[in-house]
Structure 1
Amino acid sequence: MSTLHNFLFNVYPYICLTVFLMGSLARFDRDQYTWKSDSSQILRAKQLRWGSNLFHAGILFLFVGHTVGLLTPHFIYEPFITPAQKQLLAIYAGGIAGFICFIGLSLLLHRRMFDPRIRLTSHRTDLFILLILWVQLVIGLVTLPFSLSHSDGSVMLSLSDWAQRILTFRPDASGIVNLDWPYKVHLVLGMTIFLLFPFSRLVHVWSGFATVAYVFRPPQLVRSRRLGLKKTSLSQSQSSTHSTTRST
């Protein structure tokens, strides 16, 4: 392995993960008022509605698909599906989700770049993060023809082995040395997005995942206004009686 390859795929992942976790925590602790998505819906709602819905539907499917596909050990799914079948499933399902996400993200990028009012209210980081997401998505779609040419599932197994070794602190990028360039660029850009995550509006993704906690919250007791007024009046009456008794 070359020095650059070793750095990008054995060292850089840990740099990105450290900044991703510690940076998110630091921003939540120090700058909570900047922890938001900075919606511009009031300026142009229709295009935002279409773009946002398509983008979020596609990106969530891709995120779950990449996470499950890369981090699930081979022996778990081996009795049910072969690596080749799993790769074909990832190609077709990921291709559809990627195309949906591409349309939505292109609408959002066009809206933010070519609407004068929205462009004036946008931060440079907003445009930059949308551009890098768009490029990352395009390169991900470019990998599909390459994946079809490796229909035996070998590429998927190599990528999964690399990702699982990173997660278990046993880095070894020797298995992905000979991968085609779109895969390597896609991996590096993906890690870079994690690196930039705490410094952009993407931090609001944490809040989206945190809403799952509401499912496990105890039920909230809500009393009617009339009952609340009755209890308040009764409490005030008892307090007044108690004060009169003490003064007597």
Structure 2
Amino acid sequence: MNYLHTLLFGLYPYLAGSVFLIGSLMRFDHGQYTWKTGSSQMLSTKRMKLASPLFHVGILVIFFGHLVGLLTPHWVYEPFISAGNKQIVAIVVGGIAGVMCLVGGAMLLHRRLTNPRVRASSSTMDTLIIALLVVQVTLGLLTIPAAMQHLDGGVMVRLAQWAQAIVFFQGNAAAHLTGIGFIYHIHILIGLTIVLIFPFTRLVHAWSAPLGYLGRRYQIVRRRA
């Protein structure tokens, strides 16, 4: 059991991370024509104006929340906010963003499965990745009741220690997860699997986020007479 635990939470993260980085680079180098969002909005706009913003805003808040929350060492934020209060903030903000992402993602998945035109233009991987993201955000929301039972922030600190041990190559990372709830283990495993298959999905378009758009000059648009 200890060997399996180390394999899944000590070694699998490095496998997923390696495939994520190398696979993304190889796809950009050898398959640039497939480097796209594969948007199906032209085929059907029904509910897209609601579903797409909900999903994307929710998932961006969740992503950056996890990134900052897990990779920021405890001593950095300890003078300003306790681990318990940080956990409460994470529950509130993450809960709101999670519900947004779940509602939007479920609507997009339902559209992809039930709209004939969208389904015909979708690949198996398109459907799989949106389904995995919906499952993952559902599991994330299910961790909230478990987190409410220990508001001292102890489990959150251990999760952050695991993530930092992986990212900063500190060794024996899996030991930080020993004894925490099963729901957290499943949430982490599915998250790592999403990272693993990332280069083979439409999610690669996230690498091409148009950040320059935020600082560009205004465009002058003239209407036809």
TM-score range, shorter chain: over 0.9
Q: Deviations over 1:154-210 (max 9, x none)?
A: 0000000010011111132112111111100000110110100000000001011xx
Aligned match of 1:197: 198
* Distance in structure 2 (CA, Å) of the matches to 1:12 and 1:131: 22
SS, match of residue 45 in structure 1: coil
Aligned match of 1:107: 107
Question: What is the Cα deviation at residue 216 of structure 1?
Answer: 7.9
Aligned match of 1:181: 182
Question: What is the Cα deviation at residue 46 of structure 1?
Answer: 3.2
Q: Deviations over 1:114-146 (max 9, x none)?
A: 011111111000011111111111111100000
Aligned match of 1:94: 94
Aligned match of 1:226: none
SS, match of residue 122 in structure 1: coil
Q: What TM-score, normalized by structure 1, do the two folds share? A: 0.84
* Distance in structure 2 (CA, Å) of the matches to 1:93 and 1:184: 22
Q: What TM-score, normalized by structure 2, do the two folds share? A: 0.93
Aligned match of 1:14: 14
Q: Letter of the 2:49 partner, please give it.
A: R
**2:207 paired with 1:212:** no
Alpha-carbon RMSD? 1.4
* Distance in structure 2 (CA, Å) of the matches to 1:57 and 1:124: 25
Deviation >4 Å, runs of 4+: 213-217
Aligned match of 2:220: none
Q: Deviations over 1:55-104 (max 9, x none)?
A: 00000000010000000011111111000000011011100110011110
Question: What is the Cα deviation at residue 42 of structure 1?
Answer: 1.2
Gaps in structure 1 of 5+ consecutive residues? 220-248
* Distance in structure 1 (CA, Å) of the matches to 2:57 and 2:67: 16
SS, match of residue 173 in structure 1: helix
Aligned match of 1:165: 165
* Distance in structure 2 (CA, Å) of the matches to 1:48 and 1:204: 19
Equivalent pairs counted in the alignment come to 216
Aligned match of 1:232: none
Gaps in structure 2 of 5+ consecutive residues? 218-225
* Distance in structure 2 (CA, Å) of the matches to 1:101 and 1:192: 19
Identity %: 50
Question: What is the Cα deviation at residue 31 of structure 1?
Answer: 0.4
